[in-house]
Amino acid sequence: MKNKFYQLLLLIIFALIIVFAAEIIGFQQISLGSINVSVLPLVFSVLFAMVFAIPVWRKGLLKVIYSDNNVEFAAKNLLYIMLPLMAYYGASVAPKIGEILSVGWVFLFQELGNLGTVLIGLPVAILLGLRREAIGATLGLGREGELAYITEKYTLESAEGRGVLSVYLIGTLFGSIFFSIFAPIILNFGFDVRALGMASGMGSASMMTAASSAVAALKPESAETILAYASASQLLTSFLGTYTMVFLAIPLQRFMYNLLTKGDNYDHGK
């Protein structure tokens, strides 16, 4: 018990040091021709944590910090750690509630975007040689809802389980970095900041934070609107995402998979 407490204490201190270093670096902008890419302290903190997690560096204190106990603790408690942030975002919706309700139908329509992983991702996955792994890998963004569904239906030891778990881990490691860079690039193409804020609410708290904060940093005069739209979209995605997955994404995925593989029937994975 003392050993676990010591490991956890080192993890907390290490996390605080990384956050402090990232805040010292602060918000940075990188110019790529006519496109400005914003890099947030969040991105630096994720990068630092990833670099120090490379096995070759895991010696001495780092081996203790990245112990199996600490990794398991972080994975289990990530949702609780994000709750204060989600409460803050929830509160940011209130001042803009009238404006948000006036375009409420758009929030419902954007839920159809969750089908993009099936319509675009599944054919690409099949083309790359994946088979039953593609079922798990292309069901949404591979976050908690998709992970729970695939686990219950196929188990994580199945090919489908390996697919969704791979996407889940990749999204956890690189998702916030990707979206914090991708969102500002899209902004340079002239999209409305409200549309980008809405698109940031994709069902992942860390990805939503990275994307919306990056756009808000480039458009500080619209920061409240961006965060409000992102928060409302995130809440709606969390609520409707399961129904979209069950009643739209899964039947569509089953049809397309059977069509593209011609014989490797989807239902055989039960």
Q: Could you tell me how far CA 177 lies from the centroid of its own chain?
A: 10
User: Does position 79 have pLDDT exceeding 90, yes or no?
Assistant: no
Q: Is 155 left (phi over 0), alpha (psi -120 to 50) or beta?
A: left
Contact 134, 122 (CB under 8 A): yes
Burial zone of 154 (CB within 10 Å; 0-12 exposed, 13-18 middle, 19+ buried):
buried
pLDDT above 90 (res 24) = yes
Q: Which range, 127-136, 157-166, 183-192, 236-245, has the best average confidence (pLDDT)?
A: 127-136
**Does the pLDDT of residue 78 top 70, yes or no?**
no
Question: How large is the average pLDDT for residues 75-85?
Answer: 69
pLDDT single digits (tens) 141-176: 877 678 778 888 888 778 888 888 888 778 766 777
Residue 183, both tokens: 């969102």
DSSP 54: S
Give me the pLDDT at residue 267, please. Answer: 57
> What is the pLDDT, as a whole number, of residue 122?
92
Would you place residue 82 in the very low, low, confident or very high pLDDT band (cuts 50, 70, 90)? low
Q: Cα 108 to chain center, whole Å?
A: 20
Q: Checking DSSP bridges between strand 35-39 and strand 28-32, what pairing results, if any?
A: antiparallel
Residue 135 clears pLDDT 80, i.e. is over it:
yes
Residue 37: pLDDT above 70? no
The size of the chain, in residues, is 270
- CB 96: neighbour CB atoms within 10 A? 19
Residues 6+ apart with CB under 8 A from 3: none
Band of pLDDT at residue 13, cut at 50, 70 and 90: very high
Rounded CA separation 136/229 (Å): 29
Kindly state the percentage of the chain with pLDDT values over 90: 12
Question: Please, which residues bridge with residue 60 across strands?
Answer: none
So what's the pLDDT on residue 191?
Answer: 85
**Residue at 222: amino acid letter:** S
pLDDT at position 268 is 45
Q: What is the per-residue pLDDT for 194?
A: 87
Q: Is the pLDDT of residue 81 over 80?
A: no
Give the model's pLDDT for residue 17: 94
Higher pLDDT, 219 or 83: 219
pLDDT at 199: 84
Q: What is the arithmetic mean of pLDDT over 208-235?
A: 83
pLDDT score of 208: 81
Domain limits, the chain:
1-77, 106-270
Decide if pLDDT at 189 tops 90. no
E strands, the chain, are: 28-32, 35-39
pLDDT on residue 100 = 64
Q: What is the pLDDT of residues 98-128, one digit of tens each?
A: 666 666 677 777 777 778 889 999 999 999 9
Please tell me the predicted confidence (pLDDT) of residue 5. 84
pLDDT band at 219 (very low <50, low <70, confident <90, very high): confident
Task: Please state, rounded to an integer, the average pLDDT across all residues of the chain.
Answer: 80
Give the mean pLDDT of 200-207. 77
